[in-house]
Structure formats: C-alpha cells, structure tokens
Structure 1
C-alpha cells in the first residue's frame, strides 16, 4: 500500500513522483506514449513483463517504456518498506521543450528496437541527481516549470552518458517510432482521457457498433460501465493518497462534470468524494 505520495507536474502532466510503499504492493503500468526512469531509494522491487523478470535493489534503477502492456512492479517483502522516485518522459512534453531538435538519445540507432526495459548501472552523477530531487520534495515552494524543465533535461543528459547509453537510446527512441497498438492497448492508454466511446472506436479503426461488440467480448462489460468504474477506482485512489482538489481529481480521471462525478462516486462507494477522503483520514 502507498503510505506517502508526492509529485511535481509539468504542463499538466505528472513529471516526477516520490512514492513510499509498504509491502505487499503491486503496480501495473498503463499503456501510454511515455517512458519512465525508476530509482529505488529504499527496499527492493520486482519488475515483471510476461516472462521477463528483474529484481531492482536499493540504489538501483530501471528505465522502461510503456508502449506495450503487461509491465508491473511489485514487492511481497513485508519486512522492508520501499521508496521509489519516478521520472516520466512524456512524448508531447519532450517535443515541447526540444522545439528545435530532439536529442540524439531519442533517435533510433542500429540496435534491435523491441527492447522495452533496461537496468541502469548508476554512477555518482545520477545519485547526486536523485539527491537534488529529494531536496525539492523537501522544499516544494522552490519548484517551478523552469526548474522542472531543467531537471528533465538533466536526467536525459546523464542517462546518455552512462555505460548503458545504447540501451537507453533503444528504449527512448521507441517513443518517436511508429507504434501499432492492440485493441486493449488503445483502451488502457485512454482510460482517463476526456474522450468518448465514438473517439475510442475511431482510434481502434472500428465502427461504434463493432467496437462495442469487441469490447464486450474482451471485457465482459459495456464500454461505458467498465470505463466509468475504472475512472472511479482511480479517483478513489487519488483521494486516498493526495490532497488535490476534488475538481482536479475528477478531471484527471476523465470526468468533465463535477456533479456527474459526485453522483457516480456516491453510487459506487456510498459516500460523496469529500466524505470518502475524511473517512480515510480518520
């Protein structure tokens, strides 16, 4: 379970997170056009994707892309709490901050292009970078967009200079390569977006009626009901671990109407969002 959660947003998206975890915990990465750098401050975590398994120990890190489904980190070691720092590379943010030219590290090289993760052998500079992030988490009033852009560019430069630079380039370059999504990947990538069933059908290259039939076959539920439940579950999680405004949480989870969100939340959990948060804090 999550015992403490802090984050910094850049241009409306989560850029840097610090998560304190008490085992057992499990987190599945949603399919999206992004990659993540994970640094294990304390404890251990197991990374798993299909048959691929890797143990990440204290002060070790992992770089992975989220363009494919099935990626998960977990820990069942009940004796050791964990702390993880996560830096997320969003494709649209990278394009925005590198408005003239994307760095070489994001351009395909001659290596095989299907690698989805890589353990990073941390050097002194990366550890100092993490120390710097911890300073900002302790002093959040000092953080602004300019600093976050600098911190994002800094970790990219550091990763490009590690002995694992080729692996880093293979993984990060996939963000700017053509990617074909499966039906499930389209759903998972857009669960919390402000789009409707018609848009999802279009992204899946299906008519609305064909989309609904395929959805029912795979999820044994209607698209509207399944997506609403997933969004409410995400909202409940954010209410538990963050102090964000309820309006912002509703929007971040895909609801564009606060009254509708409140009514739906009460229908699922039996209390209004504000009362749900108060019950958790008791």
Structure 2
C-alpha cells in the first residue's frame, strides 16, 4: 500500500481527509492554532502520544483532539502493523463554527479535563464515517450544502456522546487546550524512546529552550537525567522478572542494546546480565 491522501475543503480549509499509508515511523502532528479534529481508523491500529496521554486507536476506537502537538506511533502488534494504516479525519475551526452555527464561542466558559479523548465508535458514528468515506472517494458529490450538512451532523453526534451541556459548550471547549506542566510531560514520557527534539516538540519548545527549561526543573541535563532514570528502572526490572535483557532495554526506552549496555555499565559497573545474577 502506497501513501495516499484524499481531502475535501470548505472555505479553503481541509475539513475531511483520508490517509492511507504502509508501515510508518513516529510522526508529529504539528500544532495548528484554532484547529480541532476527530480521527477514525478504517484499517490497522495506531498509537497517539501527547504530553500526558498515550492512546491506541483502531476501527472500534476513535480520537477527539484539541490543537496541540502529538505523535502518531506505529502499533506494537506486528500483524496489525504490517497491514498499514488507513484513517479518516474531520477538522473543525472557530471560523467555520461561526459560519455553520452562528455561535459566539467566547460566550461559553465550558472546559473539559483532556486534550485527547478516546471515543468508542458506535453504530451512528460508524455510519457517519462511511458517509465521509463515500464523499472522499467521490469528491464530485461534495458540494457546499452537503459539506455543511455533514459537519453539522458530526457536531451533533460527538457533542451528544461527550455529554456537554450544549453544542456551543462542546465546540467552545474544543478550542481551549489544557495546560500540562513541563514536569508532568517529562515524567509521563520518560521511558518512551523519544529523542530530545521529540520531547521538546511535545512541550511546544525549541530544543534550546527545552534544554534550558529541563536544567531549571530537574537540575541536570536532559540526556544525563533521562538515561539515569531509564537505567534505574531497568535495574528494578532485571531483579523483578524474567524478561530478556533486550526486552527490558526496549521497555525502558533505549533504542539499541549497545546504548543500553553502555549506559547501564557506566552506572552500575557491570553489564545488565552480570547485574541480574550478582
């Protein structure tokens, strides 16, 4: 399966998109101001990593997302991963909300305690997804009136499942990202195999600003602190269970056995295997 993208736009903004791709590496969904989206999965499975969440999405579970940086990650289920991924996205913007509903989002103070949310795909949402698939496969059908109708239908369906007091409140909350503390972001993603550049992206910082902030919060460089914490967790796992050393290296977020062994030996003076039997 080759990479394929199909889009439908309304007032020069993408509102529906279908992406089909084979195996992929971790991919950043870049922050876009005043953009919220819903993601359906037609085929395969994908992980989503944000500041303080890690979600798994498949044909039975979709995702509602506010405007923030997050990563799409391949599934650790090899069979599913080999099938590739096909997803459908629905995008909303304040300017389109005003056009569709004549809502003034500033009149609502409603908020919700999440930036990403898993949503079970019930029969109504499944039928909605199939209708969007048809439009994406036959874009000549997607005139302005149909697009407006499908966007309104989406807001009605998802706002009801979110149990928001009203459609206005549901939409207002979508464009209010929750602040996540820097320390929380680091602790939540400490054992993922994220590079410093990727961690900086999750924190919405440049790499240089991230390093300065990290030193202020944790008192040492991110490279040294993160490696130390990963090795400490690995030492606990080596004593606590019978996982293979290579599995433990992966579990704590090292991208290679060589890097893991070098860091472990530097800290404990023996190799991981020697530590286990000592």
Pairwise same-fold verdict (TM > 0.5): yes
The separation in 2 between residues aligned to 1:46 and 1:160, in whole angstroms, is 24
Cross-structure match for 1:188: none
Q: Distance in 2 between matches of 1:139 and 1:23?
A: 26
Aligned length: 181
Q: Are positions 1:147 and 2:150 aligned together?
A: no
What is the distance in 2 between the residues matched to 1:63 and 1:178?
A: 12
Which digits, 9 at most, give the CA deviation of each residue in 1:13-56, with x for residues without a partner?
A: 11100000211243322222111100011100001113421111
1:82 aligned to which of 82, 85, 94 = 85
The answer to whether the 8 A contact 1:159-1:168 is kept is no
Give the match for residue 58 of structure 2. Answer: 57
Seen in structure 2, the aligned counterparts of structure 1 residues 217 and 160 have a Cα distance that, compared at 3 Å, is closer
The answer to whether the 8 Å contact 1:10/1:148 transfers is yes
Bigger radius of gyration among the two: 2
Whether 2:163 is the aligned partner of 1:165: answer yes
Other structure's SS at 1:161 match: helix
User: Where in structure 2 are the equivalents of 1:260-271 lying within 5 Å?
Assistant: none
2:46 is aligned with 1:48: no
Q: Which residue in 2 is equivalent to 1:121?
A: 120
1:35–1:172: 8 Å Cα contact kept in structure 2?
Answer: no
Cα 1:27–1:95, aligned 2, differ >3 Å: closer, same or farther? farther
Instruction: Provide structure 1 residue ranges, at least 5 long, that are not aligned to the other structure.
Output: 181-213, 220-282
Give the SS at the match of 1:47.
strand
Residue aligning to 1:4: 4
Q: Distance in 2 between matches of 1:168 and 1:44?
A: 32
RMSD: 3.5
Q: CA deviation at 1:138?
A: 2.4
Cα displacement string for residues 112-169 of structure 1 (whole angstroms, at most 9, x for unaligned residues):
x44101111221111111111111122211111221111111110011222x334998
Matched, 1:22 2:22: yes
Does the aligned pair in 2 maintain the 1:37–1:62 contact within 8 Å? yes
Aligned-partner SS, 2:114:
coil
Structure 2 CA distance, aligned partners of 1:26 and 1:216? 18
Distance in 2 (CA, whole Å) between partners of 1:79 and 1:54 is 19
- Give secondary structure in 1 for the equivalent of 2:82: coil
**Are the structure 2 counterparts of residues 131 and 115 from structure 1 closer, same or farther at C-alpha, using a change threshold of 3 Å?**
same
95 and 179 in structure 1: CA distance in 2 versus 1, 3 angstrom threshold: farther
TM-score, L = length of structure 1: 0.55
- CA gap 1:217/1:98 in 2 versus in 1, 3 angstroms: same
Normalising to structure 2: TM-score of the pair?
0.56
| SS of equivalent residue, structure 1 residue 133 | helix
| Alpha-carbon offset, residue 171 of structure 1 | 6.9
SS at match of 2:3: strand
